[in-house]
Structure 1
Amino acid sequence: MNADQSPERTPDGHHIVVRGRKWRATDPAVPEETAARLRRHLMSARRAVRSATTAGDEQAERAARSRVHRAKVALGERGTPWWEEPEDARRRRWEQGLESLDAEDDG
Structure 2
Amino acid sequence: MTVALHFVFNAPEDPIIFDVSHQVYPHKILTGRRSRMHTLRQAGGLSGFAKRAESEYDPFGAGHSTTSISAALGMATAFELRGLTARNSVAIIGDGAITGG
Q: TM-score, normalised by structure 1?
A: 0.28
**Greater C-alpha Rg:** 1
In terms of fraction of residues, the more helix-rich structure is 1
Of structures 1 and 2, the one with the larger relative CO (CA 8 A, separation 6+) is 2
